[in-house]
Amino acid sequence: MKVLIETHGCKLNTADSQRLATEFVRSGYELVAKGGVPDVFVLNSCTVTHVADKKARQSLRKARKNFPDAIVVAAGCYAESSSSDLEELSATDLVIPNTRKSEIVSIVNSRTGLESHGDSIKTPQSGKLPGRTRAAVKIQEGCDQVCSYCIVPKVRGRERSIPKADIVNQIQSLSRAGYQEVILTGTQLGSYGFEFDDTDLVDMVTSVLQQTDVQRLRISSLQPTEFSDELLGLWDGVGKNRLCPHFHIPLQSGSDRILTDMRRRYTSDKFISSVQMAKSLDPTCSVTTDVITGFPGESEEDHQRTVDVLHAAEVSDAHIFPYSVRQGTSAAHFDSQVEVSTRMRRAEDLRSLADASAEIHRKKFVGTVREVLWEGMRGITGLTDNYLRVRLEPGQVHEHMMDGADGLIENVRLTRLEGLQLIGSSVQ
C-alpha cells in the first residue's frame, strides 16, 4: 500500500505530518512523493483563513480526480473546524479531526486491512517525508491566549507540552537519520514546560543542544514578550554556531489600539524592542514577522501605524494576511468590519513594503559567504542558517549533480540577487 501525505499551513502541521508518515511506514505503507500514485491520500489541512479552507477543498477534489481508486482522507485543522462540511464533500472518504489524529492510521487500516506494527515514537526516522531535508519537531501545541481573531485554540485545544526526554530522543533519531536541521515548533513555544516542575523553554533547548548532535537547531516563532537575556544567551553560549540566527516574531498590527482589540499581550514598542534585542545579539540575523491587515475597526491611521512599525523594524520578510472572518471567534461578531476591497488594498501596500525590506536585507549579504543547506538536488535551492533562499549558478548545478544531496551543507559565496533570491558559487 502506498500513501501520499500533503501538508498545508504551519510548521506544526509539518511536524504532525512527519509523525504521521512514521506511523504509516510502521504499519507497512510505502510513502510516495508528489507525482506518485497512492492507494491512500491524506491531506493535513489548515484553517487559519478562508483561503486555507478553499485550498483544502481544492486539494481534496484534485486528489479524487487524479486518484479515483484511492482512499481520500481529510485531516488536520480544517477537518476539526468543519468536519460536517467535509463529510458532505463527495471527494472525501474519511474526515478525521485533530481530536482523533492519533487514530488516523488505525482508521485507515480498517479500510485497507493492514495492521499497525510497533511504536513509531521510538523510530521517527523510519517515515522520512519525501522532499523534506529539514525536520519539524513539535514541542508543544494548543493555545490558551484566545486572540479575538484566531481559530487555533478551537482546533488545537489547550496548551500542553511534550516531555523533554521525548523531544531529545526524537531529535537525536532524526539526526542519525541524516537530517541536518531540526525546527522546534508549536503553537505557543514560550509557554513550553509550564505544566512541568523541572523545565522550561531555555532548559529544554539547552538539553537538546547538549544531548544531540543535530547540526542546526531552529526555533520557529517567539512572541515579543518571550524575549529575555537568558533565552538569547543560548545563541552565544551552548547554541553557538548551531542555533540558527533567525527569529520569527509576530507583529499582527502596528496599532496598539488594534493589538488590544486582538487581545495580543504586547505593544508595538515591545515588538520593536524585541527585534532590536535579536539584532544586537547578531547583526546578521534575519527577523521575519506576521501581519494581519483590515482587522475590524482598523482605520487608515491604524494602517499607517503598521507601515511605520515595519519601516522601523527593518524586517527581512513579512507574511501579510488580509483579515479573514473565522466563525467561532469573537472578532467575527465585532462591529465595523472593514470592506474586503480595503483589506486587499492594504495587504498589497504592506506586501510591497515587505518586498522592499526583504530586498534591502538580502543585498547586505552579496559578497559574503554563508553555509547553505541544500534541499533536493544540490544547488537548485537551499537555505542559509539565517533563513535566506539561495541557489547556485546554473553551471555549478549541472557540474555537480549528485545522488543523496539532501542534507548537504556547504559554504557558498553569495554573488548576486535575482528578485528576492540570492545566487552564489560553492566555496571549495
Looking at residue 403, its pLDDT comes to 43
- Per-residue confidence at 279, pLDDT binned at 50, 70, 90? very high
Tell me the H-state helices in 67-138: 77-81, 83-87, 104-112
Could you tell me what percent of the chain has a pLDDT over 90?
Answer: 82
Distance CA 115, CA 307 (A): 55
Per-residue confidence (pLDDT) for residue 17, from 0 to 100 = 92
- pLDDT (0 to 100) of residue 245: 97
Q: Give Rg (Cα) of the chain.
A: 22
pLDDT at 351: 97
| pLDDT bucket at 159, cuts 50 / 70 / 90 | very high
Spatial separation of the C-alpha atoms in residues 42 and 189, rounded to whole Å: 27
Q: What is the mean pLDDT of residues 68-95?
A: 93
Rounded to whole angstroms, how far apart are CA atoms 407 and 396? 18
pLDDT of res. 404: 43
pLDDT digits (tens, 9 = 90+) for 314-359: 999 999 999 999 999 999 999 999 999 999 999 999 999 999 999 9
pLDDT digit string, tens, across residues 132-145: 678 999 999 999 98
Q: CA angle, 383 as apex, 381 and 385 as ends, to 5°? A: 160
pLDDT exceeds cutoff 80 at 166: yes
- Residue 289 reports pLDDT greater than 50: yes
Alpha helices by DSSP H, listed for 285-413, are 300-313, 340-363, 394-399
Give per-residue pLDDT as tens, 386-426.
999 999 998 887 554 444 445 689 999 999 999 999 999 99
133-244 and 281-364 agree in CATH topology? yes
As a CATH number, domain 2-122 is 3.40.50.12160
The domain segmentation of the chain, as residue ranges, is: 2-122, 133-244, 281-364, 369-426
Q: What is the Cα–Cα distance from 300 to 294, expressed in whole angstroms?
A: 10
Question: Which positions ≥6 away from 258 have C-beta within 8 Å?
Answer: 252, 295, 297, 298, 302
- What is the reported pLDDT for 267? 98
Q: What is the mean pLDDT of residues 244-263?
A: 98
Distances (CA, A) of 376 to 3, 121, 130, 423: 20, 26, 10, 17
Express each pLDDT in 295-305 by its tens digit. Answer: 999 999 999 99
Contacts of 267 (CB under 8 A, 6+ apart): 256, 259
CATH (residue range 281-364): 3.30.750.200
Which CATH fold would you assign to the domain 133-244? Answer: Transcription Regulator spoIIAA (3.30.750)
**Residue 172 has what pLDDT?**
94
Spatial separation of the C-alpha atoms in residues 414 and 392, rounded to whole Å: 9
User: Would you state the pLDDT for residue 428?
Assistant: 74
Q: Which of 40, 43, 18, 44 is closest to 29 using CA atoms?
A: 40
The pLDDT tens digits for 171-215 are 999 998 888 999 999 999 999 999 999 999 999 999 999 999 999
Q: Supply the DSSP string of 391-417, one letter for each residue.
A: EE-HHHHHHT--TT-TT-EEEEEEEEE
pLDDT digit string, tens, across residues 401-411: 444 445 689 99
Q: What is the pLDDT of residue 178?
A: 83
pLDDT(376) > 80: no
Q: What is the pLDDT of residue 127?
A: 53
pLDDT, average across residues 218-241: 95
Of the candidate CATH numbers 1.10.1760, 2.40.50, 3.30.2310, 1.10.860, the domain formed by 369-426 belongs to 2.40.50
Q: What is the pLDDT of residue 395?
A: 81
* Model pLDDT for residues 103-136, shown as the tens digit of each residue: 999 999 999 887 654 444 344 444 566 556 789 9
